[in-house]
A and B are shown apart, each in its own frame.
Chain A
Amino acid sequence: MSLRIVVTVKYVPDATGDRHFADDLTVDRDDVDGLLSELDEYAVEQALQISENSDDDVEITVLTVGPEDAKDALRKALSMGADKAVHVEDDDLHGTDAIGTSLVLAKAIEKAGYDLVISGLASTDGTMGVVPALLAERLGVPQVTLLSEVSVEDGTVKGRRDGDAASEQLEASLPAVVSVTDQSGEARYPSFKGIMAAKKKPVQSWDLSDLDLEAGEVGLEGAWTAVESATQRPARTAGTIVKDEGEGGKQLAEFLAGQKFI
Chain B
Amino acid sequence: MAEVLVYVDHVDGAVRKPTLELLTLARRIGEPVAVALGAGAESTAAALAEHGATRVLTHDASEYADYLVVPKVDALQAAVAAVSPAAVLVPSSAEGKEIAARLALRIGSGIITDAVDLEAGDEGPVATQSVFAASFSTKSRVSKGTPVITVKPNSAAVEAAPAAGAVEALAVTFSAQATGTKITGRTPRESTGRPELTEAAIVVSGGRGVNGAENFGLIEALADSLGAAVGASRAAVDAGWYPHTNQVGQTGKSVSPQLYIANGISGAIQHRAGMQTSKTIVAVNKDAEAPIFDLVDYGVVGDLFDVVPQLTEEIKTRKG
Mark A residues whose CB is within 8 Å of B: 15-16, 19-21, 25, 39, 97-99, 102, 121-122, 124-125, 127-130, 132-134, 136-138, 140-146, 148, 158, 161-172, 176, 181-183, 223-233, 236, 239-244, 246-253, 255-257, 259, 261-262
Contact = CB atoms under 8 A, between A and B. Distances in A.
Contacts of B302: 243-244, 248
B109 A127 contact: no
Q: Which 5 A-B pairs have the closest CB atoms?
A: A244-B302, A249-B310, A224-B110, A142-B180, A169-B185
A133 B110 contact: no
B70 A102 contact: no
A230 to B, nearest CB: 5
Majority secondary structure, B binding face: mixed
B311 A249 contact: yes
A103 to B, nearest CB: 9
B95 interface: yes
A98 B112 CA distance: 9
Contacts of B245: 162, 164
Contacts of A124: 250
Contacts of A129: 94, 97-98, 113
B69 A233 contact: no
Nearest to A39: B251
B69 A133 contact: yes
A213 to B, nearest CB: 16
Nearest to B68: A170
Given A170-B182, A249-B314, A243 B93 contact: no
How would you classify the secondary structure of chain A's contact residues: helix, strand, loop or mixed? mixed
B309 interface: yes
A12 to B, nearest CB: 11
A162 B259 contact: no
8 contacts: A15-B270, A21-B136, A143-B68, A162-B244, A167-B186, A167-B189, A244-B307, A253-B314
B259 A233 contact: no
A225 B311 contact: no
Given A223-B110, A227-B140, A255-B298, A183 B244 contact: yes
B10 to A, nearest CB: 11
A230 B135 contact: no
Nearest to B259: A261
B48 to A, nearest CB: 19
Given A130-B98, A230-B139, A233-B135, 4 more contacts: A99-B104, A138-B105, A183-B244, A249-B309
A223 B143 contact: yes
Contacts of B101: 98, 128, 130, 133-134, 137
Contact of A252 (B133, B139, B140, B307): B307
Contact of B105 (A102, A127, A169): A102
Contacts of B293: 239, 241
Given A170-B181, A243-B288, A181 B298 contact: no
Interface in B73-110: 73, 93-95, 97-98, 100-102, 104-106, 109-110
A227 B115 CA distance: 13
